[in-house]
Amino acid sequence: MIDGGVEHTGTPTAYNGGHSHEQSFRFTHADFLAIAAIVRNETGISLKPTRSSFVYSRLSRRLRTLGLESFAAYCELLIQDGQSAERRALVSALTTNVTAFFRERHHFAYLRQRLIHTLAPRVHAGGRVRLWSTACSSGEEAYSMALTVLSVLPDATRYDIRILATDIDVEMLETARLGLYTRASVREHCRDTASLHWETGTDDRLQVPEAARSLVEFLPLNLIGAWPPLGTFDIIFCRNVAIYFDFPTQTALWRRLCDHLPERGLLSIGHSERIPSENIPGLHLCGITTYQWHPS
Ligand SMILES: C[S@@+](CC[C@H](N)C(=O)[O-])C[C@H]1O[C@@H](n2cnc3c(N)ncnc32)[C@H](O)[C@@H]1O
């Protein structure tokens, strides 16, 4: 851990011409603070000083790739105009992308219930349904929503049902669009979707069934930045992302998401996230980490 200007002495090993050698980069507390400020500004993610080893290990690869000798040089590069590509690489390096199909399964049970009782009858009557996975990472969350839709409405692609899947990390979005996952992850989490055909793709990975892929659109979106016109969503999943934001940023995000919920719309958040009800009147806990919007 870095404190009071003490330098990091991390010694990641680089491979070079068949000989491994030790390589380390000068990393001061001031460098950590500069990077934390850039990350906060770009993403809303609040990096505590206890995360300095994490920052060092995630970014030393970038320094090596760029041929830089110190974090100070990297910080200088980041603040130059025209370095938006490097700032995107910084975001990709420092975001935590852990996810899984049907993670926190109870949310998919609520989605299924809402589909059976409200949303399927609505689309059968010619109405529309919109769902949003707000921090979709490599796509498993959005595809799990799509697979849940198909479990209730096998012919969902004939109706006006769409799932918007967004993330700040454009590298993750590219992975998500491919829809290719290891057999182990599909076998472990998608047992109930056996009736759908998962095609074998490259590297012996399995590709999400075409019907599920066609329900989802992946787009870049920064939850703390400007949003395009989005309309409302019957159900929003905003899970395991606000945990990285400070409290005022979280509260502003919850308020903003409520602007995109219709009356009785649902907002599901991550297992370690909470929305203090006094902060958002109208948002009521109605299930495990799931809130219903009743503004009136
Ligand atoms: C731990 S993953 C959560 C994935 C999924 N929602 C789940 O619960 O399994 C967190 C995701 O939030 C994204 N993220 C972080 N800051 C963001 C921001 N400001 N706007 C949009 N996405 C962000 C990261 O890129 C990462 O993919």
Residue 3 has pLDDT above 60, yes or no: no
Query: Tokens 């992308």 appear where?
Result: 97
Give the residue ranges of DSSP H helices in the chain: 29-43, 52-66, 71-79, 84-94, 106-114, 120-124, 140-152, 170-178, 183-189, 210-215, 247-258
Position in ligand 1 atom list of the atom nearest CA 96: 1
User: Model ipTM?
Assistant: 0.99
CA–CA dist 54, 296 (Å, integer): 45
pLDDT for 14 equals 31
Mean pLDDT value across residues 31-52: 95
Mean pLDDT value across residues 6-22: 36
Query: Could you tell me which residues come within 8 angstroms of residue 33 by beta carbon, excluding any fewer than 6 positions away?
Result: none
For a mutational test of ligand 1's pocket, the pick from 42, 95, 227, i.e. the residue with the most ligand atoms closer than 8 A to its C-beta, is: 95
Please give the share of the chain, as a percent, with pLDDT higher than 90: 80
99 is in an annotated binding site: yes
Tens-place pLDDT, residues 135-182: 999 999 999 999 999 999 999 999 999 999 999 999 999 999 999 999
Domain ranges of the chain: 13-94, 106-293
pLDDT for 7 equals 45
CA–CA dist 42, 86 (Å, integer): 12
Burial class (CB in 10 A: 0-12, 13-18, 19+), 124: exposed
In one-letter notation, the amino acid at residue 279 is N
CATH architecture of 13-94: Orthogonal Bundle (1.10)
Q: Which residue has the higher pLDDT, 14 or 143?
A: 143
Tell the residue nearest (CA) to atom 27 of ligand 1. Answer: 137
User: What's the distance, CA 58 to chain centroid?
Assistant: 18
Neighbour-count burial for 9-47, b at 16+ CB within 10 Å, e otherwise: eeeeeeeeeeeeeeeebebbbebbebbbebbbebbbbeb
Give the confidence band of 82 by pLDDT, cuts at 50, 70, 90: confident
Tens-place pLDDT, residues 200-257: 887 889 999 999 999 999 999 999 999 999 999 999 999 999 999 999 999 999 999 9
> What CATH number belongs to 106-293?
3.40.50.150
Catalytic residue among 58, 112, 122, 177: 58
Residue 18 has pLDDT above 60, yes or no: no
Query: Tokens 């309309």 appear where?
Result: 231
Provide the token pair at 74: 């990297």
CA–CA dist 202, 155 (Å, integer): 27
* Lateral strand order in the sheet of 128-133: 216-220, 160-167, 128-133, 235-238, 266-269, 290-293, 283-287
For a mutational test of ligand 1's pocket, the pick from 42, 101, 137, 249, i.e. the residue with the most ligand atoms closer than 8 A to its C-beta, is: 137
Catalytic residue among 167, 169, 205, 234: 167
CB of 100 closer than 8 Å to CB of 144: no
pLDDT for 247 equals 94
User: What is the whole-number distance in angstroms between the Cα of residue 257 and the centre of ligand 1?
Assistant: 15
